[in-house]
Structure 1
Amino acid sequence: MLTVQDLIDIELLKLQAVAGLAGTGRLITWAHTVDLPDPWRWVSPGDLVMTTGLGLPAGEEEQVTWLEHLIQSNPSALVIAPRPDAPALSAKMLETADRLMFPLLHASFELEFVKLSHHVIESVLQAQRERFNASERLFQTYAEALRKEPEMAERLRILGDALGLDLAIEDAVSGATIVQTHATHSDPQPVERIPIAGRARANLLMTRKLQRNADDSILLRSLVGLLGVELERLMIHRDQQREEGSALLRSLLDSETEFALARPLLERRGLAGRLVSLAILPDSNGPWSPDEVHHAPALHNAGPLLLNDNGRLLALCRDDSALIEALRNSLGSRAAIGVSGPIAAASGFRESVRQARLALTQARELDAPVLRYGEVETGLIMAPKSLAEARALVGRYLGPLIEHDRTQSAALVTTLMTFLDNDGNWKATALDLGIHRQTLVYRLKLVEQLTGIKPTTTQGIARFWIAIQAGRNTELLS
């Protein structure tokens, strides 16, 4: 595209710069002929304004005012090919043009504005053709990258190589890098940061390998648009995964799906190894809302299953302290998380949710950001002062047994109560329950597996007995 200086350099036009030489680097986007006394009403930014001087006022102050009004419409330059009866340009008008760095060009009256316009229009059309061709090459490169590379980082590298750029995408909230190419340079290069429109809340980072081209803005807009579409596609995929994960979590919570049978589905989502349940109270002013937290960059790989639970979140995730902390930070500094013990086949998923909820309650009471189930003992309270304390004791020590009895139609709580009422006498307990001694041994081992507390030790007997008494005194246990 032509600049004002390029136009001056065309010898055939014989244009002469008479003022505003500091502004001759301006781009000319179109040419417009006007001889009206108020040309600023008819021109657009970047226009080359051409006049015979018919509408130019004669007075010195009036010419200055006229020029200042014209400059406010932001044209590229003014070409004057004066008629014989046109007023002369005043010295004050030329001084104003110099001060405002606005090019004033003088041409012969015999110059046909059509020829001048032809140069400008041909330059604009050529620039548009080049932009179109460059955009077409960009889209072709992007289409080939989509076919060849499954990973976005590699597609970004291919696009960067085609444009002479090193590219990266960062999270606009945390500043964390989401995607980057692997090119490095020994010399530090200035980084340009361009916001990407849409839900992504991301920025495109660019480091130029080549010198900037004055006409590459449309190409960069096309690139930003392509990346916006790419990020939106990834967000739609994560939205679908969130919905599927919520449905699976609800199914596990309602005992419609066995946890053991869900293991292969979880592993395909990256949830392998030791898993825990989380009960989360989000921060209302966090970087990500509970409905959008699955888009937080820290959760893109092997993110947890999430389920809205009456203003809170339930989650199933890997037992990874860094991942749990990243989830909390994404929900806000005032968010609180209760973490269950490892999900075991014997106790089941529902028990892990109960543990997580209890841990969250304790975390809020202690003003702790993250608390694991069992980290803080409920306390050996001989006489609970409130129903809440009694429930906490029963839930902490007998909750897994109660849940197991409910789902498996077993009698672990009754067995434990009878064992303690008989002062740990195996023979008397088996006789009272009407079961074989070996069956009693099996049940008490299962009590230990579910609670982590051995009921035949002094410490275990003390905890279980206090919890049973708290339950009986408050009629939580029959």
Structure 2
Amino acid sequence: MRATVADVLNLPHLRLGLFAGAAGLDRTVSWAHASDLDSPWDWMAGGELLMRNGRTLPSDGSAQAALLHRCADAGASGIVIGEDSQMPALRGELAAAAEERTLAVLTASYSVSFAAVARAVADANSGEDSARFGQIERIYGVLRDSLGGGVGDSPTARLGRDLGCRLLLLDTSTGHPVDPTAPEPDSVLRQALIAGIEAHDGRIPGVLHLQPAGHTTALAVEVPAEEPTVLVAVDLPGMDTSLLHHLATAAAVETAHQAMVREHERRLGAELLAHLLDTRIDPPAASRELTAARLAPAHTVVVAAHHDDGPGQRDIHLTLSRRRIPHLLLKRGSLFLALLRDAPRDLDALRHKLGPGTALGVSTTVGSPERIPMARREAVWALSLARAAPDGCARYGDETTYTVLRSIEEAQSVTDRVLGPLLTYDAAHGTDLTATLEAFLQHRRSWQRTAAALNVHKQTVMYRIQRVEQLTGRTLAETADITELWIAFQARALLSGAPTP
């Protein structure tokens, strides 16, 4: 049987005194917990004897009472205040709060260390260790079964049944289960979780105490994972924080398994999107696959961004899956492509995960599977214009400040008509006439600066430009010809999604 506050108070070598709250002396003590933090209740799960240095106490009586009320709400067994020379007077408001909440307030002499109090509590509870070890063994036994390929409920569901409580593995931002097949928590608990996290500026303390209506207790602890995750224990029997964190360790393994499942789904989705872009799947089969993916072409768009190796793009499939957002993702060359529903919520989730500095290009509505390759070109076109947009996002067909080229068709026509001979010649002969011309225009038609940029001799640049003039039928001495060539390079960049020169 666990020790009580009275048992600790009556240990003569500790020389503890009772300040107030005698009615709470029969509370059981799980362990002694020393903390001088402003909010020690954020790291308490219930049953702790909080030990606090007197100098860290507020001097105001109402603030002392508030500290006691918050500890009582967190399930503390009692409070030990270490006396020292800078300790403020213990106020009447503290005593009144202790009597009201039946929470004992003890005082410890300056010569008694908190380590001695903690050791005394541990010794008094040594008979309870075997029961705790049994609980821990059950936790890791369930984990072994899961890793061994055992079938049935998830580890958290099994542990909840074994321990006589309800365990939920939830996404921190949305409150949805990490496993899409798991039942949703009731809205009251979900809102309490989100509100509790917001109250801590989006961070999870050691133990987050929730107070949803209709539940006796609800505690949340952070679970290490790629995406912010919490384990919520509802109506948890009297257990200590260490056991709760053992549960979180088991939940982390389940979260990692879910991440593997989502990664497999992402790979299948990338393969499907690649087939759709390359028209390697017939329209009826494409329609069936998109219906199964919950992506109706009539309400779907292609989104393009520049590919990077940051966590935003690495884990985007986890973010979208946890928010129940249907998607197909593909990284191809320098581009990151997504097929999403044309819905503000879905696009906002993508933008938030990728970060505010990421430019996005959005196509018009796909309409039919056969039009997905064209939608991809529209998204890439819009991506080239997105850098000039105020919010870094551009949608194909919307009015932009770039009015010379108004569509993909116009850009392709200009590119083929003006640069086509150069591109064909370079492809056939392995030359760099197109790149030389672009560098020459970028360096204000300076032979010397162009030669330095290309790391060739000036005479080589002069020879190449002469050949350019012969192939294109244009001369770089004429303003009209220079303008036409420059617009053609703008069109080529827009078609590729590269930054416009």
Q: Which residue of 2 aligns with 1:134?
A: 135
Superposition pairs of residues 410-449 of structure 1, within 5 angstroms: none
Q: How far did 1:327 drift?
A: 0.8
1:195 to 206, 222, 227: 222
Match of 1:205, SS?
strand
CA distance in 1, matches of 2:166, 2:131: 22
CA distance in 2, matches of 1:322, 1:336: 18
Name the aligned partner's letter for residue 240 of structure 1. H
Q: Which residue of 1 aligns with 2:174?
A: 176
The 1:375/1:319 distance shift into structure 2, 3 A limit, reads same
The reply on whether 1:253 has 2:277 as its aligned counterpart is yes
Q: Which residue of 2 aligns with 1:373?
A: 396
1:348 to 348, 371, 381: 371
Name the aligned partner's letter for residue 304 of structure 1. H
Q: How far did 1:16 drift?
A: 6.4
Q: Which residue of 2 aligns with 1:17?
A: 12
Query: Once the two structures are superposed, what CA deviation does each residue of 1:110-153 show, in whole Å capped at 9, x if it has no partner?
Result: xxxxxxxxx969x63x5343224434655788979x8665xx7x
Query: Once the two structures are superposed, what CA deviation does each residue of 1:416-464 show, in whole Å capped at 9, x if it has no partner?
Result: xxxxxxxxxxxxxxxxxxxxxxxxxxxxxxxxxxxxxxxxxxxxxxxxx
Percentage identity across aligned positions? 20
Q: How far did 1:240 drift?
A: 1.2
The 1:474/1:198 distance shift into structure 2, 3 A limit, reads closer
The 1:373/1:243 distance shift into structure 2, 3 A limit, reads same
Match of 1:204, SS?
strand
1:315 to 325, 332, 338: 338
8 Å CA contact 1:294–1:303 kept in 2: the answer is no
8 Å CA contact 1:97–1:103 kept in 2: the answer is no
CA distance in 2, matches of 1:28, 1:264: 59
CA distance in 2, matches of 1:100, 1:344: 70
Superposition pairs of residues 104-115 of structure 1, within 5 angstroms: none
The reply on whether 1:266 has 2:293 as its aligned counterpart is no
The 1:305/1:5 distance shift into structure 2, 3 A limit, reads closer
Query: Once the two structures are superposed, what CA deviation does each residue of 1:69-115 show, in whole Å capped at 9, x if it has no partner?
Result: xxxxxxxxxxxxxxxxxxxxxxxxx965457684699xxxxxxxxxx
Q: Which has the larger radius of gyration?
A: 1
Q: How far did 1:397 drift?
A: 5.0
The 1:336/1:191 distance shift into structure 2, 3 A limit, reads farther
CA distance in 1, matches of 2:113, 2:246: 37
The 1:334/1:299 distance shift into structure 2, 3 A limit, reads farther
8 Å CA contact 2:223–2:251 kept in 1: the answer is yes
8 Å CA contact 1:166–1:207 kept in 2: the answer is yes
Q: How far did 1:162 drift?
A: 5.1
Q: How far did 1:354 drift?
A: 0.6
The 1:283/1:377 distance shift into structure 2, 3 A limit, reads same
CA distance in 2, matches of 1:399, 1:299: 40
CA distance in 1, matches of 2:307, 2:218: 35
Q: How far did 1:239 drift?
A: 0.9
The 1:302/1:120 distance shift into structure 2, 3 A limit, reads closer
Name the aligned partner's letter for residue 408 of structure 2. G
Q: How far did 1:332 drift?
A: 0.8
The 1:311/1:202 distance shift into structure 2, 3 A limit, reads farther
Aligned residues: 305
Name the aligned partner's letter for residue 224 of structure 2. A
The reply on whether 1:221 has 2:222 as its aligned counterpart is no
CA distance in 2, matches of 1:260, 1:337: 30
CA distance in 2, matches of 1:223, 1:229: 10
1:238 to 262, 265, 271: 262
Superposition pairs of residues 43-192 of structure 1, within 5 angstroms: 96-98=110-112, 102=116, 124=126, 126-135=127-136, 159-160=159-160, 163=163, 165=165, 167-172=167-172, 175-179=173-177, 181-182=185-186, 185-186=212-213, 192=219
Superposition pairs of residues 267-416 of structure 1, within 5 angstroms: 267-274=291-298, 275-281=300-306, 288-297=311-320, 300-345=323-368, 348-376=371-399, 389=404, 392-393=405-406, 395-396=408-409
Q: How far did 1:339 drift?
A: 1.5
Q: How far did 1:395 drift?
A: 1.8
Range with bigger deviation, 366-375 or 17-26: 17-26
CA distance in 1, matches of 2:249, 2:269: 30
Match of 1:289, SS?
helix
Q: Which residue of 2 aligns with 1:110?
A: none
Name the aligned partner's letter for residue 263 of structure 1. S
The 1:337/1:96 distance shift into structure 2, 3 A limit, reads closer
CA distance in 1, matches of 2:267, 2:352: 22
CA distance in 2, matches of 1:299, 1:280: 21
Query: Once the two structures are superposed, what CA deviation does each residue of 1:390-420 show, in whole Å capped at 9, x if it has no partner?
Result: xx346255769x99xxxxxxxxxxxxxxxxx
Name the aligned partner's letter for residue 15 of structure 2. G
CA distance in 1, matches of 2:31, 2:279: 71
The 1:135/1:347 distance shift into structure 2, 3 A limit, reads closer
Which structure ranks higher in relative contact order (CA pairs < 8 Å, sequence separation ≥ 6)? 2
Name the aligned partner's letter for residue 17 of structure 1. P
Match of 1:178, SS?
coil
Query: Once the two structures are superposed, what CA deviation does each residue of 1:328-373 show, in whole Å capped at 9, x if it has no partner?
Result: 1111122222121222459632211111111112222223443321
CA distance in 1, matches of 2:341, 2:114: 64
Unpaired segments ≥5 residues, structure 1: 10-14, 30-93, 106-118, 382-388, 404-469
TM-score, with length taken from structure 2: 0.48
Q: Which residue of 2 aligns with 1:47?
A: none
The 1:229/1:4 distance shift into structure 2, 3 A limit, reads same
Name the aligned partner's letter for residue 205 of structure 1. V
8 Å CA contact 1:294–1:300 kept in 2: the answer is no
Match of 2:313, SS?
coil
The 1:21/1:399 distance shift into structure 2, 3 A limit, reads same
8 Å CA contact 1:193–1:203 kept in 2: the answer is yes
Q: How far did 1:157 drift?
A: 6.4
Unpaired segments ≥5 residues, structure 2: 19-24, 33-107, 178-183, 190-211, 417-483, 493-501
Match of 2:388, SS?
helix
